Structure 1
Amino acid sequence: MPYKFITDEQLRLYMTDRKTHGQRTAAARAGFSERTARRFDVDATLPSQRNIKRGRTVSDPLEDIWDKDILPILDKDNSVKPITLLRHIQSLYPLRFPDDRVKRTLERRVRGWRALNGPEKDIIFRQTPEPGYMGQSDFTDAADLSITIAGDPLVHRLYHFVLVYSRWEHVGVVLVGESFTALAENLQNALWSLGGAPENHRTDSLSAAFRNLSVEEKEDITKRYSAFVEHYGMEASRNNRGESHENGAIESHHGHLKTAIKQALILRGSNDFDTLDEYRRFLDELIARRNKHRDQDIQTELKSLKALPPRRTTDYTEVVSRVTKTSGFLVKQVFYSAPSRLIGQRLRVHIYDNRIEAYLGSTHVVSHSRERGHGKGPRIHVINYHHVIHALKRKPQALANSIYRDSIFPRTEYSLAWTLFQKKLSRRDACRQMVGILFLAHEEACEAEVAHLISREINAGRLPCAKKLKLNITKKNTDLPPDIPVVQPSLSVFDTLLEDRA
């Protein structure tokens, strides 16, 4: 066999079998080649008694240049790659090394030198998990899941929380990038769903959450994160940048989680969901099934978790914005509509990962799904047509050239109706008809039904008309409930009850 030395026992067996068998057969029975057998037939000295000098069978092509040309470079910087050294000696000796034949030799020599003279390497110390001690948070990109909402690709990440001991996990959908808001909101959801808090919470370096922030903003988020973990009685720890194995419990879970999601999507038969909430429910049900198989370890860990505080803490970013005369306010370069009665008021806006909540003093006044602005291109407008419809009713012609006209339409059917009005009617009539339809949906609180009626009229080749649509709206039951006579009991009945109790 290659690279295996012949033993004395093999040679003795060969010499014994050689008396009764041919050379090939005896060699096979002894476990070596026929070529080796021919050498033993010439010299039957036992291997242990031979003075064999083993070494190179060919001359070392690097012997005279290793100390002179290569070793000084390695001593100066041991991170240099063998291919770099090869190109260097080829430039020095082009006729001697015209090709890459010595590449493997050079790689082997450099590898051996580093093993003897290179720097100390980092060691991974495997840990024994302790119940209730550590929970880990991380974000993972979900692009490879190919999730779509109503046919449109969903750009998102998954927030992933894992208890190291029991492997209990929680997953949240994060619509854009990593941020303190996304971490705080989803971590609180995980802790309250679990019913306790671990002693230590570990994250990565959180560099993505601090990207593009000023020094003051970074310091503010650092203080808020410290206050956050203190609220839950946890210690905060971070793994060193670039050392993903320090967060290994959750890093390994990312791959298992995505595999489970892909398999569940195969069983579901589609990667498309009607709404984002439906996708979130799908993930919640999947994670619940995965956690069910860890129930015994979870019950052990729950006994060691810290009790939750009486209430949640801040998991949003707050800004103050004034409502302008256009009946809206700006938050991170995105325009959000507000009721016109709030024009001129300063609102406190709580920015969550997927929504914004605006307050006038302590009174909640506006909610919107959150959108992200872009540094370039047109400004994004998030409009609730209920906020502007009364003003449009008084000035319908303002609809035609409004900068947020297309954002006013609550559904695609309304946008399609406006496109047809522009083609078939004058601008004046198109605006009046469109505003009339929007006002109908607002007044009758039947946005979905009006959208269905619009679609039916267009499919029939007719232009929608607010007056005709109103006739087809399902009439709401406005009848008063029947009077039910209520007989007041006599006060003496209560006296009887008191007597019986006595």
Structure 2
Amino acid sequence: MKFRQTNTAPIAAAKAGFSPSTASRIDKDPRLPSHRKAPRGRRRPDPLAGVWDSEIVPLLQAAPSLRPVALFEEIVRRHPDLGPGIRRTLERRVRSWRALHGPEQEVIFRQVHEPGRMGLSDFTDMADLAITLAGQPLEHRLYHFRLAYSGFEHAHVVLGGESYVALAEGLQNALWALGGAPREHRSDSLSAAFRNLDRDAREDLTRRYDALCTHYGMEPSRNNAGIAHENGAIESVHGHLKKVIEDALLLRGSRDFADLYAYRRFVDEVVGRRNARNAPRIEVERAALQELPDRRTAAYEDAIVTVTSTSGFVLRKVFYSVPSRLIGHRLRVRLFDDRLEVYLGGTHQMTLPRGRAHPNGRHGHVVDYRHVIHSLRRKPMALMGLVYRDQLFPRQAYARAFEAMCAKLPTRTACRTMVDLLALAHERACEADLAARLDADLTAGRLPDLKSLRALFSPDAGAVPDIVVSYAPLSAYEELARGHQGEVA
């Protein structure tokens, strides 16, 4: 085009290096080929032309969060002739409209984490992993602690809800395993622990949590209620940890564990392998942590209970049995997440597994048949209507035996025999062996024979053991005396 300003078209084309025909075409229309091409029109009519501006846009303006699928269902209900084929078109059109005219969205601001500054705590439900202990389903959560900078993690199996006790025990376990404490501790306001608590209880819980953080020199902080992404450094890791545990369970080949200790050890091993990958960063952050105090602080709640004539007490809608010698006494109970430690004055009496009330509000029961068997032997018929009868049997074999005897024997005989079997298990310390024998009898279609079981597990009280006493010969004493005299000489 520069040559064309001073030359004819053929000469300008020759100087530019292309043919005269091309020069003639450019001379007639200097636009680029892409600019000369007309834009492609619609190949089919717009199915939303009649409803987009008049109906859909007003709905989006009135309710910007309305889902496209809800809009689709509403428009098809109003105009059945549109048919289901417009759904994808509607979804794309709504997405484009929101990008141009929709409301502003919340922005996530990524943070720079300093070593030793922030640790985070949260709980995650583990029901979807279907863990069992000795064949029984385990309802539990994981307390999860994480350092924001290095990614150090600690997980603690929690049997109850998101309580202060669970937080205090899990957090202290994490800090002592780490060997230091961060300057700030972030939680989600313990929302589950606050739920259904009155104002005084919430204030008491807050004071205890603040005292816990003060003991370790940490500044407590909380994310805004309902804004989970403010705890993103641990919320997003929940899913990763659960997937790693799920993979480990699949490789293990079983989701059943012998006891709670075995399951906790399994979780510790999984978390330990994750920490091993971040070992260099963890060492860097460990050097920046605060020193731990000289001792741990209390990770339990105190309660004072009175033992009633039922040889037990009720705490948090759960009945616990204790030895009858404690009836009428006031006991001090330390309430942990998974156990109760019972004290009479300053003397530790026993440790009981912690029970939970039923979801429907019914009381739970934690009963040891050894606490009441001596009284039950005097009143065996009380077994038939006993409130906690199902929890009284130490193993499933005893419950099966009682059910079989009730079906085939008179009620009085069944109760008397069952009580005697429990007494035999207690007195002869043969609970497991007796349960195995009961299972064998029931499998063979036989009822338990109390007389033969007593003969099997009870020693013969009339048999006097033969005791052989060997006397030393008198000459031995003479030799001993002569040897002693020689040493003196």
Structure 2-normalised TM-score? Answer: 0.77
Residues in 1 aligned to 2:153 and 2:341: alpha-carbon distance in whole angstroms: 28
Is the Cα contact below 8 Å between 1:82 and 1:110 reproduced in 2? no
Q: Report how many aligned residue pairs link the two structures.
A: 442
Distance 1:89 1:155, change over 3 A: closer
Q: Is 1:192 the counterpart of 2:172 in the alignment?
A: no
Q: CA RMSD of the aligned region, Å?
A: 4.2
Query: Are the equivalent residues in 2 in contact too, given 1:356–1:370 (CA < 8 A)?
Result: yes
Q: CA 1:468–1:77 in 2, change beyond 3 Å: closer, same or farther?
A: closer
**Cα offset, 1:184, TM superposition:** 1.3
Q: 1:127 to 1:394 in 2, by over 3 A?
A: same
Give the secondary structure class of the aligned counterpart of 2:387: coil
Asked whether the 8 Å contact 1:437–1:465 carries over to 2, the reply is no
Separation in structure 2 between the aligned mates of residue 450 and residue 207 of structure 1, nearest angstrom: 47
**In the alignment, does 2:270 pair up with 1:286?**
yes
Alignment-derived partner of residue 194 in structure 2: 210
Distance 1:376 1:75, change over 3 A: closer
After superposition, what is the alpha-carbon deviation per residue over 1:113-146, rounded to whole angstroms, capped at 9, x for unaligned? 34xxx54x44322223222211111111212212
Q: Quick check: 2:126–2:141 contact (8 Å CA) kept in 1?
A: yes
Contact 2:146-2:153 within 8 A present in 1 as well = yes
User: What secondary structure is seen at the aligned counterpart in 1 of 2:122?
Assistant: strand
Task: Extract unaligned runs of 5+ from structure 1.
Answer: 1-11, 21-36, 484-502
Query: SS state of the match for residue 341, structure 2?
Result: strand
Do the aligned partners of 2:421 and 2:450 also contact (CA within 8 Å) in 1? yes
CA deviations 1:332-362 (Å, max 9, x no partner) are 2111111111112222222222222222222
Matched with 1:223 is: 207
Q: 1:428 aligns with which of 412, 424, 432?
A: 412
- The percentage of counterpart residues that share the same residue type is 48
My pick for the range that moved more, 122-131 or 228-237, is 122-131
* Partner secondary structure for residue 144 of structure 2: strand
Distance in 2 (CA, whole Å) between partners of 1:73 and 1:416 is 64
How has the CA–CA distance of structure 1 residues 338 and 56 changed in structure 2, closer, same or farther, with 3 Å as cutoff?
same
Partner secondary structure for residue 158 of structure 1: strand
- What is residue 447 of structure 2 aligned with on the other side? 463
* Alignment check: 8 A CA contact 2:187 2:223 kept: yes
Residue 252 of structure 2 is matched in structure 1 by 268
- Is 2:119 the partner of 1:135? yes
Q: 1:108 aligns with which of 88, 93, 96?
A: 96
Deviation string, structure 1 residues 297-321 (Cα, Å, up to 9, x no partner):
2222221222222222122233322
Label 1:423 to 1:302 Cα distance change in 2 as closer, same or farther (>3 A). Answer: same
Q: TM-score, normalised by structure 1?
A: 0.75
For 2:194, what is the secondary structure of its paired residue? coil
| Counterpart residue identity of residue 175, structure 2 | L
CA drift of 1:384 comes to 0.6
Distance in 2 separating the partners of 1:429 and 1:75: 78
Judging changes above 3 Å, is the alpha-carbon distance between structure 1 residues 48 and 151 closer, same or farther for their aligned structure 2 residues? Answer: same
- The separation in 1 between residues aligned to 2:18 and 2:454, in whole angstroms, is 108
Secondary structure, counterpart of 1:263 in structure 2: helix
Matching residue within 291, 299, 303 for 1:315:
299
Q: 1:246 to 1:419 in 2, by over 3 A?
A: same
Q: Within 5 Å, which residues of 2 pair with 1:53-452?
A: 103=90, 105=93, 108-114=96-102, 118-119=103-104, 121-374=105-358, 376=360, 378-452=362-436
CA distance in 1, matches of 2:332, 2:93: 69
Name the SS for the 1:209 alignment partner.
helix
SS at match of 2:376: helix
CA distance in 2, matches of 1:298, 1:466: 62
Mapped to 2, the partners of 1:268 and 1:386 lie a distance apart of 37
> 2:101 corresponds to which letter in structure 1?
W
Note if contact 1:86-1:106 (Cα within 8 Å) is conserved in structure 2. Answer: no
Distance 1:42 1:440 in 2: 115
What residue identity is the alignment partner of 1:164?
Answer: A
**How many Å apart are 1:107 and its aligned residue?**
5.2
